[in-house]
Amino acid sequence: MTFSTHNRRSSVLVVDDEPAMRTALQANFQRAGWIVEAAGCVADAMSVVRGKSFDLVVTDVRMGDGDGFDLLDYMRKESPGIPVILLTAYGSVPEAVRSMRDGAVDYLVKPVSFEQLEAAARRIVSQNSGLSGPVQGSLRPVVPGNVELVGRSAALLEAMRRAQAAASTGSDVLIEAESGTGKEVFARFIHESSARRGKPFIAINCAAVPETLLETELFGHAKGAFTGAAAAKPGKFELAHGGTLLLDEIGDMPLALQPKLLRVLQEREFERVGDARLIHVDIRVVATTNASLSRMVEQGRFRGDLYYRLNVIPVSIPPLRQRGEDIAGLAEHFAAQYARELGRRPPVLDASFRAALGEYPWPGNVRELSNLMRRILSLHAGDVLDASVFRKEIWPLAAPQVREEEALMPGTPISELERRHVEKTLALANGNRTRAAEMLGISLRTMRNKIKEYGLPPRRYA
């Protein structure tokens, strides 16, 4: 596909030390209508940039005489108006975050299709180029500059590639994953990777809003629509116009409200509560759930037509137990983050601490690891963390002892088993309903219902 700005062909400098890759990129860009030059090393690229101006630079990260970060640093000083896309097969996301804060505008993990690369290139040049001549002025960093996706496991990188591909389209996205895996972070990643970045990112947790208020929160209401509606109020759909709306824990949306949501997704129009005037919106919807919506459809707890409308591009985030090679790196990341907040040096995680990290199943996923490292940094001032620190802070909570007299006998009603399980989980969470819900893999609304049903006020366990 050819890209031009007012009939001016865009120019790109391709930098890669692998001849086959360099030649392929050059040929593909030329076929797509770009003016292309190529360089096989960082030094050659610097020399070319000194003498010419480009609309875009696409560079590999790892090269024989340096890396893409060296070139990025040079261009930031010498040619700050030229946007840079980094390509790598290594998937070091923390490095990508730092590099883009230094001036890169995108970061793609190999293997990447040329269609995906050129789509990103066209978007960048379209948004950042002057209508004649090269880009002027400094560029704000984009994805993932405003989000942090830390890890190098194949499972995580595959999820990132899928999210990145979804971002290049205008389609709605359904993210299914366990609680604590970072569903909202991925939703922001999709938003910031898309042409809608810079527009609103609006989120609403469908499980946290009472059923009686959810409709007005989503669609807004007219003045006088109900008692207490002294003024008109826009809903989340209106506020997200032009950008992205995150419907978090969509599985908890009441069945009665689902037909109205389906119509909005199909028509991109709706009425405020108490108002007949149609409101049109241009948004992308990202829905997340920690439950299997397909199973809920089979059970009659979720509309099938709404599920299929949401499930245009499904993205699955792996639980932390399937990302074993990422756990220690994430722990170091959180340790450094919380150490900065506390004004201290990040501690060293010794081999025994790392081994203990790998032995734990992490039912609360990344959120649980983050909370653990915050707790450890807050309570332990040592420069080195070992397994004894880990065991002190995690294992007593993770493996409570059940006394013999508390064991359930055959024939005990299921409701009693559930009541005891919820009660023990609340105790483990020190009465924190949100944490207890995460540990059980249920929504906060379901947790509240269970507490009410079984008469288990959280403060009893605090």
pLDDT tens profile 19-46: 888 898 999 899 888 999 999 999 999 9
Examine the domain organization and report whether 10 and 24 are in the same domain: yes
Q: What is the pLDDT of residue 429?
A: 77
Q: What is the pLDDT of residue 49?
A: 86
pLDDT-derived band of residue 410, with 50, 70 and 90 as boundaries?
low
Number of domains in the chain: 4
CATH number where 9 lies: 3.40.50.2300
Q: What is the pLDDT of residue 94?
A: 52
Examine the domain organization and report whether 294 and 378 are in the same domain: no
Residue 28 is assigned to a structural domain of this protein: yes
Q: What is the pLDDT of residue 141?
A: 27
Pairwise pLDDT comparison (102 vs 117), residue with the higher score = 117
CATH number where 344 lies: 1.10.8.60
Q: Which two tokens stand for residue 12?
A: 């790109």
Cα→Cα distances 318→107, 149, 177, 366, Å: 21, 13, 7, 10
From 398, 433, 452, give the residue that closes a domain: 398
Residue 230 is assigned to a structural domain of this protein: yes
Cα→Cα distances 341→71, 119, 148, 330, 377, Å: 32, 39, 17, 17, 10
Pairwise pLDDT comparison (54 vs 96), residue with the higher score = 54
Q: What is the pLDDT of residue 276?
A: 84
Q: Which two tokens stand for residue 348?
A: 């060293």
Q: Which two tokens stand for residue 405?
A: 């007299």
Please write the tens of the pLDDT for every residue from 171-190: 999 999 998 999 999 999 99
From 294, 316, 338, give the residue that closes a domain: 316
Residue 137 is assigned to a structural domain of this protein: no
Examine the domain organization and report whether 288 and 310 are in the same domain: yes
Q: What is the pLDDT of residue 8?
A: 58
* Section 221-231 average pLDDT: 84
As a whole number, the mean pLDDT across the chain is 81
Please write the tens of the pLDDT for every residue from 125-140: 765 543 323 222 222 2
Cα→Cα distances 125→3, 10, 154, 278, Å: 9, 8, 31, 36
* Section 116-126 average pLDDT: 78
Residue 183 is assigned to a structural domain of this protein: yes
Q: What is the pLDDT of residue 385?
A: 93
Examine the domain organization and report whether 230 and 311 are in the same domain: yes
Please write the tens of the pLDDT for every residue from 332-390: 989 988 998 999 888 999 999 999 999 888 988 999 999 999 999 999 988 999 999 99
Q: What is the pLDDT of residue 138?
A: 27
Residue 62 is assigned to a structural domain of this protein: yes
Examine the domain organization and report whether 350 and 295 are in the same domain: no
CA distance 342 to 260: 47
Examine the domain organization and report whether 426 and 382 are in the same domain: no
CATH number where 302 lies: 3.40.50.300
Residue 236 is assigned to a structural domain of this protein: yes
CA distance 176 to 293: 8
Examine the domain organization and report whether 259 and 324 are in the same domain: no
Q: Is 380 helix (H, G, I), strand (E, B) or coil?
A: coil
CATH number where 438 lies: 1.10.10.60
Q: What is the pLDDT of residue 412?
A: 65
From 398, 421, 441, give the residue that closes a domain: 398
Q: What is the DSSP letter of 250?
A: G
Examine the domain organization and report whether 307 and 347 are in the same domain: no
Examine the domain organization and report whether 195 and 344 are in the same domain: no
Examine the domain organization and report whether 235 and 327 are in the same domain: no
> What range does the domain containing 238 cover?
154-316
pLDDT-derived band of residue 419, with 50, 70 and 90 as boundaries?
confident
Examine the domain organization and report whether 165 and 305 are in the same domain: yes
Host H or E run for residue 290 = none
Examine the domain organization and report whether 182 and 246 are in the same domain: yes
Pairwise pLDDT comparison (321 vs 70), residue with the higher score = 321
Residue 146 is assigned to a structural domain of this protein: no
Q: What is the pLDDT of residue 158?
A: 86
Residue 147 is assigned to a structural domain of this protein: no
